[in-house]
C-alpha cells in the first residue's frame, strides 16, 4: 500500500489533486453554500485550518476559467472523485459557470500601512493577470485595455487601485455577459 504524501503548506486545490496528496474531501461545502444562498459567507477558523485551500476549491468549482490565450479550461476532473460529484444537478447548474475574483488578505498583515497597501496591490495585480485573456478580446475599449494593463502591472494610481476590483468585475461582466456570483 502506497502512502499518500501530506500537503503541508499547499493552498492550491488543483495542485493537491494533481499530485495526489492526501486530502480530506470538503466538497460538500459547495452544496451548503448553494443551498444556504447567503449574501455573504464568513469562514471563521483558527489559523492554519485550511480556509485558503477551501476558497481555492470553491473557486475551482464555480469558475469559468480561461488560459491566457482565451481557451476554456475544464476543471471537472478535479471533482470527479469528490462527494459533490454525486450531486449531478448542482454540478450541471453551477460547476464552471461563473467568472470569479479571488482575493486573500493574509499577506496584508504587515508592520506598516504602506507595506500592507503594497501587498494588497500585489494581490489585485495578480487577479488582473489571472484574467488577462480579457486583453485579447474585443470587448474592452482601448482606454479600458490601457487602464487594465496599468492595474495588472501595479502602475495604477491609488485612486485607480481603490476602484480596481469594481473595474475588473465590470470587465468580466461584459466579457462573460453575466454578473459575478455573489
Q: Which residue, among 111, 171, 102, has the nearest Cα to 137 in the 3D structure? A: 171
Q: How do the residues of the chain divide into helix, strand and coil, expressed in percent and rounded to 5?
A: 50, 5, 45
**Strands, E, within 22-178: which ranges?**
none
Mean pLDDT for each consecutive 10-residue tract of the chain (182 residues)? 77 91 90 85 70 91 88 93 95 93 85 93 95 92 96 93 94 85 54
Between CA 180 and CA 173 the distance in angstroms is 7
Q: Which residue, among 31, 18, 160, 19, has the nearest Cα to 77 in the 3D structure? A: 18
pLDDT score at 76: 94
Q: What is the dihedral of CA 126, 25, 40, 62, to 10 degrees?
A: 60
pLDDT score at 38: 77
Q: Are 56 and 11 in contact (CB under 8 A)?
A: yes
Neighbours of 79 (CB within 10 A): 22
Amino acid at each position: 500500500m502506497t502512502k499518500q504524501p501530506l500537503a503541508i503548506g499547499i493552498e492550491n486545490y488543483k495542485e493537491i489533486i494533481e499530485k495526489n496528496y492526501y486530502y480530506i474531501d470538503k466538497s460538500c461545502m459547495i452544496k451548503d453554500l448553494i443551498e444556504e444562498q447567503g449574501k455573504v459567507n464568513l469562514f471563521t477558523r483558527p489559523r492554519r485550518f485550511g480556509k485558503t485551500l477551501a476558497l481555492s476549491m470553491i473557486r475551482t468549482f464555480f469558475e469559468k476559467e480561461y488560459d491566457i490565450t482565451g481557451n476554456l479550461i475544464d476543471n471537472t476532473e478535479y471533482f470527479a472523485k469528490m462527494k459533490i460529484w454525486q450531486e449531478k444537478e448542482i454540478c450541471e447548474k453551477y460547476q464552471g459557470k461563473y467568472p470569479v475574483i479571488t482575493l486573500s488578505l493574509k499577506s496584508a498583515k504587515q508592520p506598516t500601512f504602506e507595506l500592507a497597501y503594497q501587498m494588497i496591490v500585489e494581490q489585485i495585480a495578480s487577479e488582473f493577470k489571472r484574467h488577462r485573456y480579457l486583453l485579447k478580446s474585443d470587448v474592452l475599449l482601448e482606454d479600458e485595455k490601457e487602464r487594465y494593463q496599468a492595474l495588472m502591472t501595479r502602475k495604477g494610481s491609488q485612486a485607480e487601485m481603490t476602484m480596481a476590483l469594481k473595474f475588473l468585475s465590470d470587465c468580466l461582466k461584459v466579457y462573460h455577459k453575466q454578473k459575478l456570483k455573489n
